[in-house]
Amino acid sequence: MNNKKIYAVILSHNCEHMIDRTISRIPHSSFDKVIVSDDGSMDNSVSKYRSLGYTVVNSNNKGYGANIKNALLVAFDDGADYVLEIHGDGAQFDPKAISKASSLIENDTDLILGSRFIEKGRALKLGMPLPRYIANRALSFIDRIILNKNLSEFHTGFRVYSRKFKDINQSKFSNDYLFSFQIIAYAIANDYKVDEIPVECDYNSEHTSHGYLGASKYAITHFFVLFWYILFKYLRVRRSIFK
């Protein structure tokens, strides 16, 4: 990909029994390096990854957001130009979709999202639960209007980050799942090049999932991000995550 270094980071948290499936779904030849960032696992995840030859770094059980922030920092410090996040619960979002991102990477796109909705109806055919489908589509519709960005999905577990994210002030961003939306809104607010590719998600194999209570909390707090985006973008209020 135009001599750019592409890394993958596996986000690990108590998923020892799903490690074999996770690594079996990763197209290792597509990456210059695969790193594991473990969020304080209490099982044998760390020792198993290390026995398989992977470099493991730790983020001390602070949450998803803290884990991906740590992973990005380590990968970029190691020389990565682009980093794909892979969830350690069996790599539910297909990492092989990285092949579809090659032209965007060559064109220096800053943030590449994997969307389940580019091919209409595909997510439901693959088993996406209807309540989650409706909620995601509804939130993404609102996000598309407020952020003024024509993306089909804003709430995805497939993201490719460029080196441009190396110097962001990580302390401004959430340590929990809200990070995943904050970083998209941040990129759009600061005129980063953001685009999407199609990705498939495996709903049939075992995986962990954000419960409906947690998902509801995420949905509500994501509206606060939109509120601050409006203040930043249109009212020039600079005291927010966006600057």
> pLDDT band for position 204 (50/70/90)?
confident
| pLDDT over threshold 70, residue 211 | no
Domain residues of the chain, as ranges? 6-235
Architecture of domain 6-235 in this structure = Alpha-Beta Complex (3.90)
Share of the chain above pLDDT 70, in %: 96
Residue whose tokens read 């990285």: 98
Q: Point out the least confidently predicted range of 9-18, 52-61, 65-74, 234-243.
A: 234-243
Tell me what the mean pLDDT of segment 151-158 comes to. Answer: 97
| pLDDT over threshold 80, residue 151 | yes
The pLDDT tens digits of the residues spanning 84-129 come to 999 999 999 999 999 999 999 999 999 999 999 999 999 999 999 9
